[in-house]
Amino acid sequence: MTVTYSSNGTAYEVTGIPDGPVVVLVHGLGLNRHTWDDHLPILNQSFRVLNVDLFGHGDSTPPPETPSLSLFAQQLKSLIDELSIDRCAIAGFSLGGMINRRFAMDYPNSVAALVILNSPHERGVEAQKLVEERVADTAKGGPEANIDTTLARWFTEEYRNTQTDIVNKIRQWVISNDPVSYAQCRQVLAKGVIELVRPNPPIRLPTLVITCENDSGSTPAMTFGIASEIYNAETLIVPHLKHMGLVERPLDFVNPTIKFLKQHL
């Protein structure tokens, strides 16, 4: 696939059915649009798919200002306007699942549906303190700080031991990020949830919220919390897996996503 650049330096790819309903894919912190590589062949059969690198990630330009959820939402809005897309569904993983909620709050008329994957929500005091300590570690040591601990939170032990090529590829994605930009984006992941809790007015869009049974940073309780604040949202908890379940067992995510989107697009 050939990468294209928007006027603001966003790297993206468009695949799938040219006249189909549009689904925008938004990756997580430290990753890039290739997070979705195993999802694309199936999504492409039913949708026009817009796969995006966030500012400071992948092939996109650095953030034009200090990163925030609103900045990333603006990045997506500028891109879909440039491509003359009136409305779209947005599937966001982790940080991407925070960005698509911010987008829905800021640009509700541009969204047809949301899929929120393994995304954090309101944390307890101790959990919030732990997340902010990790941000501080990143600021001191760069993206490589505690990377082995991170990968252990992201993948099951069996997968880490048997799929070393994939795990090492994702390790390289993370540690290749610009240290300053990565630390700033991690700060968004840590503190951005505060602006998403109990949105007023509430989000009233068809929404599917998914996480994994053993995702310690985007727990099942958080998933139910997100869904409780979005009108008629649906939930799905994928058993056994951790944070990067969408890479470890992609069909467990893409199949329910397609079923949901076909009902609402």
If you average pLDDT over residues 164-193, what whole number do you get?
Answer: 94
Residue 54: DSSP 8-state: P
Query: Which domains are seen in the chain, by residue range?
Result: 4-264 (3.40.50.1820)
**Contacts of 230 by beta carbon, 8 Å cutoff, 6+ apart:** 114, 202, 203, 204, 205, 207, 209
Give 219-248 pLDDT, tens digit per residue. 999 999 999 999 999 999 999 999 999 999
pLDDT surpassing 80 at residue 127:
no
Q: What is the pLDDT of residues 62-83, one digit of tens each?
A: 999 999 999 999 999 999 999 9
Within 27-162, strands assigned E span: 48-52, 88-93, 111-117
